[in-house]
Amino acid sequence: MTGAGFLVPDWPVPAGVRATVTTRAGGVSAGPWASFNLAAHVGDDPAAVAENRRRLRAALDLPSEPAWLAQVHGREVARLPGPLPRAADAAVAFGHGPVCAVLVADCLPVFLASRDGDRVGVAHAGWRGLAAGVIEATVVALGCDPARLVAWLGPAIGPQAFEVGEDVRAAFTARDPAAASRFRPGRAGRWLADLPALARQRLMECGVGSVHGGGTCTVSDPARFYSYRRDGDTGRMAALAWLA
């Protein structure tokens, strides 16, 4: 489902669970960051980023400023409400007020929510974080039976565009040989990796059986999405989750 400048997950969760992924439309940034860049660390004008974040809060009627994380492609999880870690690549929230947020531009945003709507989270799952266990850490941080959780995979680099080296394939297959089926041969010595399929596999192994989304490629849609792999200097979308 889409809104004006936003993607809304199509997943079976209560109405009080709110989640969205921004697109690049609707902001004031210029140049390679045009137009709705929400990242303050990519070289964009700080005043433009501040205005884009103000527009984000107003458009979604957010209950608080999103908890903007210092992301490092790791597995640390911020638990909200509470102090933010020095670095984290996922956030979970319990109760009304806090807004979980991760920034993405090809990495996969993985949303998680309980079926009864009392907890929510979102993880930044690039290949490094995914291999390191950011999904598993987020599921643990939510603190409930994984069978109670529902997941939605947001827009990310698609399997036709994500060419990686043998080191990436080995990072997954060393842990689980079955992950080899999520890679197919690319150019000589290279592999095409299916990031959403790898995430889906990890979720299933955690006991999260209800997994949705995962079919939207950021690289192939420059009108809607930033893509670091495609453009290099570029902005970031935000993946946001909160309880209303």
The model's pTM:
0.97
Share of residues in the chain with pLDDT > 90 (%): 98
The pLDDT value recorded for residue 5 is 82
Plot region of 31 (φ>0 → left; ψ -120 to 50 → alpha; else → beta):
left
Mean model confidence pLDDT for the chain: 96
The mean per-residue pLDDT over the stretch 50-58 comes to 97
The pLDDT value recorded for residue 4 is 54
Domains in the chain, number = 1
* Count of H-run helices and E-run strands, the chain: 6, 14
The mean per-residue pLDDT over the stretch 203-221 comes to 97
Q: What whole-number distance in Å separates Cα of residue 15 and Cα of residue 167?
A: 42
The mean per-residue pLDDT over the stretch 187-196 comes to 96
Q: How far is CA 179 from CA 61, 75, 231, in A?
A: 40, 19, 28
Checking if the pLDDT of 15 tops 80, the result is: yes
The pLDDT value recorded for residue 3 is 44
CA 165 to chain centre: 23
Domain housing 200: 2-243
Q: What is the CATH number of the domain that holds 185?
A: 3.60.140.10
pLDDT in tens, 81-134: 999 999 999 999 999 999 999 999 999 999 999 999 999 999 999 999 999 999
pLDDT in tens, 156-168: 999 999 999 999 9
